[in-house]
Amino acid sequence: MDQPTVGILHPGSMGAAVAACAATNATVVLWCENGRSPVSAARAEQAGLTPVPTLRELLDRSDIVIGLCPPAAAEELAREVAGHAFTGTYVEANAISPERAERIADLLRPAATVVDGAVVGSPPVGGKTPTLYLSGPTAATAMVEAVFAGTAVRTKVLGTDVGQASALKVSYTAFQKASRVLAALATGMARQYDVDQELLKVADRRSTSYLAEPEYIPKVAARAWRWGPELEEAADTLAAAGLPPEMLRAAASTLARWHDAKDDEVSVADALERLAQP
């Protein structure tokens, strides 16, 4: 299949940017405009995606469908797709646990071929080059790799088992996102005792420490609505592996204090003040 038709569900900031890269090697990239916001429509138009009025039409026309949505909606989205008996390749690319990835695969099989996917990195715009990790049937992962060949989305196949890509994502999420929450808590504690500037000096001796980057804290607050559910997925994975999940569940609970800061531009002081509110 030299030029497949690709469908994206849905064109959020990551989904639209990934879909725009897929358009390089696809006949067309479709998105379903039914029920989507004007912001989504504008984003899809900017990415050069082709709108269709219904999910049914998108699925009927697509050879490959990429599912990219908030983790909490991943199974509901897959259930909708399964309800239309989609027979192409479904790339489950959400930040979810391996167990949920397998449940989603069970919803869609045997009608569809399921590839487990995980995007690590920022959306592929402005010179950013995230990696789309893949696991699943060899022919299907090769087809997905071909869609992104020569684009800003790098691909790497991890194996043939659904769940491997998701496991890598939540393993990375466990450190990458939780460490930022810990940095915010440490900075907030130090500020209560007027030693936060000295803490920065201590942290600055280790150039890789997020404690040396307090300007990142507002970015964490603005993304808390999305990162919290991702940490819950990582906690589920730890529990399944017989490891204690409490720290990540606690981090997710901490992020919930920033839920109202969704996509806001706040200062470090404002973010820490919100964090201190019960």
pLDDT > 70? residue 274: yes
Residue 210: predicted pLDDT: 73
User: What's the residue count for the chain?
Assistant: 278
Residue 218: predicted pLDDT: 93
Residue 260: predicted pLDDT: 86
Residue 1: predicted pLDDT: 55
- Tens of pLDDT, residue by residue over 9-41, are 989 999 999 999 999 999 999 999 998 999 999
pLDDT > 90? residue 182: no
What is the Cα–Cα distance from 204 to 200, expressed in whole angstroms?
Answer: 6
What is the Cα–Cα distance from 234 to 97, expressed in whole angstroms?
Answer: 6
Residue 205: predicted pLDDT: 85
- Tens of pLDDT, residue by residue over 91-114, are 999 999 999 999 999 999 999 999
Average pLDDT over residues 250-263: 90
pLDDT > 60? residue 192: yes
Phi, psi of 270 (to 5 degrees): -65, -40
- Cα–Cα separations (whole angstroms), residue 5 to 24, 26, 40, 78, 107: 11, 6, 20, 19, 22
Between 256 and 278, the higher pLDDT residue: 256
Among 4-13, 14-23, 62-71, 253-262, the least confident range: 253-262
Average pLDDT over residues 179-205: 90
Among 7-16, 87-96, 172-181, 247-256, the least confident range: 172-181
Phi, psi of 27 (to 5 degrees): -65, -45
Residue 216: predicted pLDDT: 87
Residue 2: predicted pLDDT: 78
- Is the overall model pTM greater than 0.85, yes or no? no
Strands 113-120 and 131-135: antiparallel
Among 126-130, 133-137, 145-149, 219-223, the least confident range: 219-223
What is the Cα–Cα distance from 133 to 120, expressed in whole angstroms?
Answer: 8
What is the Cα–Cα distance from 122 to 173, expressed in whole angstroms?
Answer: 13
Count CB atoms within 10 A of the CB of residue 221: 28
What percent of the chain is predicted at pLDDT more than 90? 76
Radius of gyration of the chain (CA): 20
Q: pLDDT tier at 171 (50, 70, 90 boundaries)? A: very high
- Residues 195-207, buried b or exposed e (16+ Cβ, 10 A)? ebeebbeebeeee
